Amino acid sequence: MKWLSDQKLDHLRKVVSEPDFSGTKYSIIKELGSGGMGAVYLAHDRELDREVAIKVLRETDLSDDTKRRILREAQIIAQLEHPGIVPVHDVGSTEDGRVYYAMKFVRGNRLDEYAATVRTPGDRLRKFKSVCETVAFAHAHGVVHRDLKPQNIMIGSFGEVLVLDWGIAKVLSPTSLPDSEADTLKLRSTNTTFSPTPSHVTADGTIIGTRHYMSPEQARGEQIDSRTDVYSLGAVMYFLLTNTAPATRSDHSSAALPRAVEPSISKAAEAVCLKAMALERRDRYASADELSTDVGHLLDAEPVSAYRENILEKTGRWLGKNRFFVLLVLAYLIMRIFFIFTARD
């Protein structure tokens, strides 16, 4: 028997852990990434002759009941039609009993990669506003994402903003479900690790990276609602403002203030971020839509609901917003003064 090199060993381990797609229309091309709960593959859809991204849960042999409930939720999520949502095309189970979701394969950069190249806060906040709008749309349809983080947000080739990973989203609205049973689906909180971020997730499923973007109530395994996503959006905004992930401890109490990390951030932007990330959900924005509105105000240099300005700040913001007009008036006044003095001489 020929000696197995480390490279071949790793390959054989993958052969065993790779899902068996033989009974489906997909052929795996390569692994795109893996996390605590599963892996993402680039696959070829042989029927439609196109490339798709497939997420496969690591757990094998799920019960029929669990599979059925996951399918029901996937059906609801598949109905979300929005330009910012990469929908679930297909859901099923492999020969070895693992659940998978097939989605459109998106080419582009993840938000964290995008942030590494785009330094202007305005551009970053514009992308962030699009994310808020997409999430607000989902909330309006009773769907909570549960795993919002820069790695799950893509900036497409044409600058479009896409929110990924709806495969494990939670459907909250009981009226939109075929029956009430679907609302009882309880996936473990570690589901949130299901993302292509191998360096952030340990082999035994312990959350490392995604904890930074997870609300305290979700980390504690409590009931979640749309404000859970608002917290995660706040954490994404924190990342975009400071270039670092918030909260380094699981109790969420030690997050450094954004301005302590990046002093150039405005007080208003910090206040918006902190309101979204409030530890108690009642202190947060009531919806992603409200957060989006405040981010829009930040971009337009309008007052935001999260921060009460003093007169100096109001003046400063007004001057900043009307810079061109102020300069024009100043130039006019200087010219007038100049003409007055020259006429007198």
Using CB under 8 A, which of 51, 65, 95, 251 touches another protein? 95
Total of chain residues touching another protein, rule CB under 8 A:
34
**Is residue 296 a contact partner of residue 290, using CB atoms and an 8 Å limit?**
no
Q: Is 220 in the site for another protein (CB under 8 A)?
A: no
Q: Is 181 in the site for another protein (CB under 8 A)?
A: no
Nearest to 236 by CA among 246, 228, 224: 246
- What amino acid occupies position 10? D
Only one of the segments 59-67, 138-146, 232-240, 321-329 lies at the binding site for another protein (rule: CB under 8 A); that segment is 59-67
Query: What is the C-alpha to C-alpha distance for residues 262 and 195, in angstroms, rounded to an integer?
Result: 28
Cβ proximity to another protein: between 210 and 226 the closer is 210
Query: What is the C-alpha to C-alpha distance for residues 134 and 128, in angstroms, rounded to an integer?
Result: 10
Only one of the segments 176-184, 197-205, 242-250, 276-284 lies at the binding site for another protein (rule: CB under 8 A); that segment is 197-205
Q: Which residue shows structure tokens 């700040």? A: 313
**Nearest approach, Cβ of residue 95 and another protein (Å):** 7
Q: Is 25 in the site for another protein (CB under 8 A)?
A: no
Q: Is 16 in the site for another protein (CB under 8 A)?
A: yes
Q: Out of 45, 147, 165, 294, pick the active-site residue.
A: 147
Q: Is 21 in the site for another protein (CB under 8 A)?
A: yes
Is 49 assigned a catalytic role? Answer: no
Q: Is 312 in the site for another protein (CB under 8 A)?
A: no
**Nearest approach, Cβ of residue 136 and another protein (Å):** 34
The DSSP 8-state label assigned to residue 295 in this structure reads: H
Using CB under 8 A, which of 47, 204, 300, 345 touches another protein? 204
Q: Is 336 in the site for another protein (CB under 8 A)?
A: no
Q: Is 64 in the site for another protein (CB under 8 A)?
A: no
Q: Is 176 in the site for another protein (CB under 8 A)?
A: no
List of long-range contacts for 245-251, beta carbons under 8 Å, 24+ apart: 245/209, 245/212, 245/213, 246/212, 246/213, 246/277, 247/211, 247/212, 248/212, 250/211, 250/219, 251/216
- For residue 319, the number of C-alpha atoms closer than 13 Å in the C-beta half-sphere is 8
**Nearest approach, Cβ of residue 112 and another protein (Å):** 24
Cβ proximity to another protein: between 43 and 154 the closer is 43
- 57 beta partners: 38
Only one of the segments 199-207, 241-249, 256-264, 294-302 lies at the binding site for another protein (rule: CB under 8 A); that segment is 199-207
- What amino acid occupies position 153? I
Query: What is the C-alpha to C-alpha distance for residues 77 and 57, in angstroms, rounded to an integer?
Result: 17
Cβ proximity to another protein: between 15 and 340 the closer is 15
**Nearest approach, Cβ of residue 30 and another protein (Å):** 8
Query: What is the C-alpha to C-alpha distance for residues 269 and 297, in angstroms, rounded to an integer?
Result: 10
CA dihedral sign of residues 132, 133, 138, 139: positive
3-state SS string for 1-45: CCCCCHHHHHHHHHHHHCCCCCCCCEEEEEEEEECCCEEEEEEEE
Residues 37-56 within binding reach of another protein (CB under 8 A):
37, 39
Q: Which residue shows structure tokens 């609205």? A: 173
Q: Is 13 in the site for another protein (CB under 8 A)?
A: yes
Only one of the segments 6-14, 227-235, 236-244, 266-274 lies at the binding site for another protein (rule: CB under 8 A); that segment is 6-14
Using CB under 8 A, which of 33, 87, 97, 303 touches another protein? 97
Interface residue list for another protein (CB under 8 A): 1, 3-4, 6-13, 15-18, 20-22, 27, 30, 34, 37, 39, 58-62, 95-97, 203-205
Active site residues: 147
